[in-house]
Structure 1
Amino acid sequence: MIDTRTAPYAALVLRVALGILFLAHAGLKIFVFTPAGTAQFFGSLGLPPALAYLTILIEVAGGVALILGFYARIAAIVLIPILLGAIFTVHGPAGFFFTNPKGGWEFLALWIVGLLAQALVGDGALALKSTPASTSGRLAARSA
């Protein structure tokens, strides 16, 4: 049974935690690796270097959208391909455990589950701009 009194706050906690994670990862690409270094790394993987800049932009915009609750359900879905890309290009070949050299993919998989849960549970409490009913209605469970 879902506690309808506390569920919006659970969605808020999940939303903010996911947003902070995305801002942290974008910050790593901006301040540690630098955007140019990140682009070079993407190129070494056989990806277009410009994709690095798009990835950074999506991580920042998506992280902010999640934290503020600005179309959080949509932001959660939009961010999933970023993590899938990281799994299939870098972390997947390293194995399951994140402690492996080059990191594993289990943390990213858990992160995807969190994003899916956010998309399903909704924008949560204190959302700046909730996902429109026409979109969220497709994500909501139907009762018999």
Structure 2
Amino acid sequence: MIDSRTAPYAILMLRVTLGLLFLAHAGLKVFVFTPAGTAQFFASLGLPAALAYLTIALETLGGLALIAGFFARVAALVLIPVLLGAIIMVHAAAGFFFTNPNGGWEFLALWIVGLAAVVLAGDGALAVRPTFNSKATA
């Protein structure tokens, strides 16, 4: 049974944690690899270089939306394909475990499950924009 008193706070914790992870990864692409370096890496994978800039923008805006609880379900849903792309294009060849050379895909899979939980459960507590509810409130 789900405790309706504490469940919204569990989603808040998940939302904020996922948002911070996305901001950290966007920051890595901006401040460590640089946007140009990230674009060059994407091109080396056979992807359009411009996709790197879109990825940085999605990670940044999606991370902020998750933290704030602003359309968190939508943000989580939009971010899932970013992680699927990272698994398919970068991490799948390295195997499952993140400790493998070049990192595996287990962490990204867990991250996807967390995003899916936000999609299914809603925005949680302290959201800027709460989840739409089918019940009318007076």
Structure 1 runs, 4 residues or longer, greater than 4 Å off: none
Unaligned runs of 5+ in 1: 138-144
Aligned alpha-carbon RMSD (Å): 0.9
Check if 1:122 corresponds to 2:122: yes
Matched letter for residue 36 of structure 1:
A
- Sequence identity percentage: 75
CA distances 1:14-55 after superposition (whole Å, capped 9, x unpaired): 000000000000000000000000000000000000000000
Q: Separation in 2 of the partners of 1:75 and 1:131? A: 13
Secondary structure class of the residue paired with 1:93: helix
What one-letter code is carried by the residue in structure 2 that aligns with 1:127?
A
Q: 2: distance between equivalents of 1:130 and 1:51?
A: 31
Tell me, yes or no, if structure 1 residue 67 matches structure 2 residue 67.
yes
Residue equivalent to 2:37: 37
Equivalences for 1:15-30 in 2 at 5 Å? 15-30=15-30
Structure 2 counterparts to residues 1-144 of structure 1, below 5 A: 1-133=1-133
What displacement does 1:130 show? 2.4
Rounded to whole Å, the distance in 2 between the matches of 1:132 and 1:38 is 37
SS in 1 for 2:101: coil
For residues 58 and 131 of structure 1, the distance between their equivalents in structure 2, rounded to whole angstroms, comes to 21
TM-score (norm 1): 0.91
Alignment-mate amino acid for residue 6 of structure 2 = T
Q: Once the 2 structures are TM-superposed, how far is the Cα of residue 96 of structure 1 from its aligned partner?
A: 0.4
- TM value normalised by structure 2: 0.95
Between the two proteins, the alignment pairs up a number of residues equal to: 134
Q: CA deviation at 1:63?
A: 0.1
The residue identity in structure 2 corresponding to 1:56 is: I
Gaps of 5+ in 2: none
